[in-house]
Amino acid sequence: MPDPAGLTALREVIEGPLREIADRFSRFLADGWPHQALVIFTRECTGRPRKVTGTRDITDKVTIAELEALKANVPPGRQVTTTATLGGAVRTVWAVQDPIGTLLVLVPRSSRARFPHPAPLAGVFGIVATSIRQQVTQASPDYLAESRAASSERARTIAEMAAAHETALVTILTTLRSSRLDDHRARLAATDTASAALVALRSAQKTDLAQSEEPMHTAFARLRREIRQMLRHHDAQLDFAAPPKNGRPIPGEIAHAARAMTCTAVLTFTSQPELTRLRVAWSSDSTALHLDVRDQGSGSLDSAGLRLQLDGRAKTLGATVEIDTLPGWGSHVAISVPFDPAGGRPDETLPSTLNRRELEVLRLVAQGQRNKTIAGTLGITESTVKFHVTGLLKKLGVTSRGEAAALALSAGITGL
């Protein structure tokens, strides 16, 4: 029979925000698989494909190229002990590739340590990998928040790096092209080298964006296949209006969210009686992606239920949702998803950064309940409550339970 405490701990790993899953999983594995660094690598997370924790001399230097090379040498569904370049150095690693393609890498505390219990590790990692995939596929608010933040930070970093290096290389070129240099052959060779470096640098930003963005028409084509598969046994006529092929690429998290929100709307439409025709369209302007789903039906769409399903994703991305129904004529859903996150005040504390469990704990803290009472109410241990309280205080930028309760009250999240 599985250990109940272990199952509860594993639930805590997969239940929290995606951006912290490496930290939580590392703590879960610490006793059974002692390690100094942990990396989860999945291309499905467009904003942050590397989820790392541990010794910063390793984790800060891990590259996607290193992980791709390691992944190629670990067969799907297998667990291996091997040596690989990770963080710029050759190291002994324990590696597991889940059948769905997600890679786990542990750097053991000792290079001579034997890989303990590889099969059980593969089993628990399979649950974690599946949870990550579901959050991405369903475009959960946690995934969207993490991915959007990571995409914005990466774009900023790339832009700053490109500007700095481009300035340096242009300076080199200017110097080398100076007529005061008499060694023509050396100057020519150096000029060619610097020119090639400039070209490579200018293309680096495009390459990285290509890995984190998806052409709009490609994202829509994938959506069309998903909808046809979902409705293969439904009699409704399906009409698709694809966006133009020359439209701007869209960030990966927006592509996932747009498909998930469109599919959610389509499924709600199909729950109506006598649905005969359904039209699905995507379009865009310079600021947003526009999703449009409409029918010629009874006009009995469950507007409240659909809005509830869309609300979490919409709030995370700053999207607007409009739902119109007219009995006897039909229904129309229009969703606008901005390409770029809305700017906020730097000093603004956002309770929306808390995950679901932290919000539950905060509500009870705001009611004046102590850790022991909260633990009994939520069915978790008192130590777990302490962990969540510490996390929510840090996220809210406060130092006491009273300050957290005041923020909860002002945000209107104290009700049960």
Pick the CATH number of 214-338 from 3.30.565.10, 3.40.50.10800, 3.30.200.20, 3.40.50.80: 3.30.565.10
Question: Is pLDDT of 350 > 50?
Answer: no
Regarding predicted confidence, which is higher, 84 or 65? 84
CATH 3.30.70.890 matches 351-411: no
More confident residue, 61 or 206: 61
Provide the pLDDT for residue 157.
46
Q: Give the pLDDT mean for 130-139.
A: 76
Beta-carbon contacts of 33 under 8 Å, excluding residues fewer than 6 positions away, are 94, 106, 108, 116, 117, 121
Q: Is the dihedral of CA 243, 245, 250, 254 positive or negative?
A: positive
Q: What is the DSSP code string of 128-193?
A: HHHHHHHHHHTT-HHHHHHHHHHHHHHHHHHHHHHHHHHHHHHHHHHHHT-TT---HHHHHHHHHH
Percent of the chain having pLDDT more than 70?
Answer: 74
Domain 4-137 coded CATH 3.30.450: yes
**Best CA proximity match to 315, nearest among 335, 333, 331:** 335
pLDDT at 178 over 60: no
Hey, what are 164's tokens? 């700095």
Indicate if the pLDDT at residue 160 is higher than 50: no
Which residue from 280, 177, 172, 165 is spatially nearest to 231, judged by alpha carbons? Answer: 280
On the question of pLDDT at 323 being above 50, the answer is: yes
Predicted confidence at residue 102, as pLDDT, reads 93
In terms of Cα–Cα distance, which of 109, 89, 102, 155 is closest to 131?
102
Q: Measured between alpha carbons, how far is 259 from 106 in angstroms, rounded to an integer?
A: 34
For residue 184, pLDDT beyond 70? no
Q: For residue 91, how many other CB atoms are within 10 A of its CB? A: 18
State the pLDDT confidence band at 181, using cuts at 50, 70 and 90. Answer: low
Q: How far apart are the first and last CA of the chain?
A: 35
> Model confidence at 166, in pLDDT bands (50, 70, 90)?
low
